[in-house]
Amino acid sequence: MREVAIVGIGCTKFGEMWNKSFRDLFIEAGLMALTDAEVSGAQIEALYGGNMSAGMFLEQEHIGALIADYSGLTTNNIPSTRVEAACASGGLALRSGIIAVASGYHDVVISAGIEKMTDVGAEKAMDALASAADREWEAEVGATFPGLYAMMARAHMHELGTTREQLAQVAVKNHYHGSMNPRAQFRNKITIDTVINSPLVADPLRLFDCSPITDGAAAVVLVPAERAKEFTDTPIYVKAAAQASDTISLHDRRSLTSIDATTIAADRAFKMARLQRSQIDVAEVHDCFTIAEIMAIEDLGFFEKGAGGPVTLAGDTAIGGKIPINTSGGLKACGHPVGATGIKQAVEIVEQLRGDAGKRQVDGAEVGLTHNVGGTGGTVVVHILAR
C-alpha cells in the first residue's frame, strides 16, 4: 500500500445559500481544491462524492454522474462515485479516495462532500435526517434525531454526572471558534445562559445544543505521497483512515453513554498511524449535538469517561487548551451540510497543519484528527493527518 497525501483543499461558505444551487456549490468547492493543488481537470482520475439525501432534499439521484457532468469531468469519462453513510458520507468519501490512491488504482483523486438542505421546509429536512436512524424501529414510532441524542444526554447526565452547564459550554466554545472562521454559518459569540434559555427541542437539549440545517460543499485532492511535492510545498500526509460500524438502532447498543464504533475506529486509526493520543495537536469531532462532542472526546480516548464535561467547562478543549477541539466551530457553529461535513473537517485540519488557520490557528500543530459519525453511531470514520 502506498502512502497518500492531501495536496489541495476547497470549501464553500456554509449557511443558507439561497442564491446557490446544489450544482453551484460542488463546482465552487471542486474548483477551489483544483486551484489550490494546481491540478487541471484532465489530471483527475476518479472522484468520490459524499452525499446523504439529495433524493429527499432535491428529488435528484444519480449524484456521481451529476457531479462529473457539471464539473466538466465527463470529457475523460472518469469514474465518479456517490458515497453515502448518513452524516458520515463525507468522511467515507475521503476514506474511499484514500484507499483508491493507496492501492495504486488511481494517482490523482478528488474526495468531496455536498448537501443542499435549506430548499425544503424544516419538517421535510427533519424527516430526511431521521432516515439516518432506523426508520422502521425508531423514526416510525416517533423518535426524532434530536430525541435520540437527548436520550444519550440524559443517560450521560444520570450515569456520569454531566451537567447542563457543561453541555452548554460545548456550544459556547464552538461559537467562539466559529466567530474566527470566515466560512462559518454562525459567527456570533454566545454565553451559557444563551444556550440554557434557548427554546427546548428534546429535553435536555435546547436549540443552541443542536447543529443547524446547512448548505455547503468541500473537496480535497489526493495523490501518492511520493508525488506530493509535484503539486505543493506543503503536503499533508494521511497517517490513518479507519472505519467502524455498529447497530443502526440506538436501543440495540451496549451503552447509551458511549459510541462503540468511535472507540473501535479510533483504536484502528492510532494503530495504523503508530501514534498515541497525546500526539494529537488538534481535532475536528462530530458535534451534531453538544452531548455528541462530550462523548466523542471520551470515546476517542482524549479524556476518561465522565471527564468530557468538566474538561470542556475548564477550557481544555478550547484553542490554547490541552487539545483544541473543533477549531472550525464544529458542526454547531460552522454548520452541518451532512454530506460535506467529513470533508470540511479534513479541510480544517489541513489548514491547521499548514499554519493557514488565521486567528484560530493552533500554535505548532503537526498532527490532527477528524471524527465523522453517521446517524447515532452506526458508522464512524476517523482520519489522522500529519504535516
State residue 105's pLDDT score: 97
Instruction: Provide mean pLDDT across the span 108-134.
Output: 91
In DSSP terms, 81 is beta-bridged to 48
Matching residue, cell 443542536: 210
Flag whether pLDDT at 127 surpasses 90.
no
Instruction: Provide mean pLDDT across the span 110-124.
Output: 91
Does 143-211+238-386 match 4-121+214-236 at the fold level?
Answer: yes
CATH architecture group of domain 4-121+214-236: 3-Layer(aba) Sandwich (3.40)
Cα–Cα distances (Å) from 303 to 277, 283, 293, 310, 379, in that order, read: 10, 13, 12, 10, 22
Instruction: Provide mean pLDDT across the span 341-360.
Output: 98
Nearest alpha-carbon partner for 278 in 270, 286, 288: 270
State residue 162's pLDDT score: 98
Give the start-to-end residue ranges of the domains of the chain.
4-121+214-236, 143-211+238-386
Which residue in 106, 156, 286, 336 is the catalytic one? Answer: 336
State residue 123's pLDDT score: 82
State residue 85's pLDDT score: 97
Distance in angstroms (rounded) separating the CA atoms of residues 128 and 336 = 14
State residue 74's pLDDT score: 87
State residue 379's pLDDT score: 98
Residue % of the chain over a pLDDT of 90 = 94
Where is mean pLDDT largest: 53-57, 136-140, 291-295? 291-295
Contacts of 62-69 with CB under 8 Å at 24 or more apart are: 63/114, 66/23, 67/26, 67/112, 67/114
CATH homologous superfamily of domain 143-211+238-386? Answer: Thiolase/Chalcone synthase (3.40.47.10)
The rounded mean pLDDT for the chain is 97
State residue 108's pLDDT score: 98
Instruction: Provide mean pLDDT across the span 103-125.
Output: 93
Burial of 125 (0-12, 13-18, 19+ CB in 10 A): middle
Matching residue, cell 486509526: 269
Instruction: Provide mean pLDDT across the span 314-319.
Output: 98
The pLDDT tens digits for 191-242 are 999 999 999 999 999 999 999 999 999 999 999 999 999 999 999 999 999 9
Please say if 87 is a catalytic residue.
Answer: yes
Nearest alpha-carbon partner for 178 in 325, 283, 334: 334
Residue 261 Ramachandran class (φ > 0 left, ψ -120 to 50 alpha, else beta): alpha
Please say if 336 is a catalytic residue.
Answer: yes
Distance in angstroms (rounded) separating the CA atoms of residues 306 and 130 = 28
The pLDDT tens digits for 130-156 are 899 999 999 999 999 999 999 999 999
Which residue in 87, 210, 288, 334 is the catalytic one? Answer: 87
State residue 124's pLDDT score: 83
Instruction: Provide mean pLDDT across the span 148-168.
Output: 98
Flag whether pLDDT at 291 surpasses 90.
yes
pTM of the predicted protein model: 0.97
Q: Which range is least confidently modeled, 25-39, 65-79, 162-176, 180-194?
A: 65-79
